[in-house]
Amino acid sequence: MTTEQPFTWSDRFLLGHNTIDTTHAEFVECVGALLNARDAEIPGALDAFIHHAEAHFQQENDWLSAPDFPGGGECHIEEHEKVLNSAYDVREVVAQGRFDVARAYAQALVDWFPGHADYMDSALATWLVKRSHNGRPLVFRRMEAA
């Protein structure tokens, strides 16, 4: 019997960058599904999480690798790598029927995500928002006649 534990999206996770926020809502959904999956659903839920995490982390890694990113990106990329490598290890153990390991992994992700989002993804989101506004406040001007 599994005990249902909620891991649901909350506005406290919002970082103010649309793509990151949408991706993070999907992360929460995938982890919540894995956390509450029945044994038979675990392999599928884990594959869905891995599919999500590969794209999620690759997108962030691409931004972090931009030549104008102000530094500190290596640590962030390394954290993604650790989480993904653990997921691959868990997949191997799950294939041997150890479903409890997948639930423990999902719980570790629940514990990991808020800190990662607050300290690492928020810095990335702030930089992306600033860059998209070219570092200047948004100003609306009349179109100049050609």
| Binding residues for Fe ion, total number by CB under 5 A | 2
DSSP 8-state class, residue 118: I
Q: Which residue from 126, 119, 118, 109 is spatially nearest to 63, judged by alpha carbons?
A: 126
Options 33, 34, 37, 60; binder of Fe ion; rule CB under 5 A: 60
> Of 2-10, 93-101, 107-115, 119-127, which part binds Fe ion (CB under 5 A)?
119-127
Options 17, 121, 125, 128; binder of Fe ion; rule CB under 5 A: 121
User: Rounded to the nearest 5 degrees, what angle is found at the Cα of 124, between the Cα atoms of 60 and 9?
Assistant: 75
User: Rounded to the nearest 5 degrees, what angle is found at the Cα of 61, between the Cα atoms of 60 and 62?
Assistant: 90
User: Could you tell me the smallest distance in angstroms from the CB atom of residue 103 to Fe ion?
Assistant: 22
User: Could you tell me the smallest distance in angstroms from the CB atom of residue 78 to Fe ion?
Assistant: 11
Contact 75, 120 (CB under 8 A): yes
Contact 90, 102 (CB under 8 A): yes
Contact 50, 91 (CB under 8 A): yes
> Of 3-11, 91-99, 117-125, 129-137, which part binds Fe ion (CB under 5 A)?
117-125
User: Could you tell me the smallest distance in angstroms from the CB atom of residue 5 to Fe ion?
Assistant: 21
Question: Please, which residue, 28 or 94, has the CB nearer to Fe ion?
Answer: 28
> Of 10-18, 55-63, 107-115, 134-142, which part binds Fe ion (CB under 5 A)?
55-63
**Which residues bind to Fe ion, rule: CB under 5 A?**
60, 121
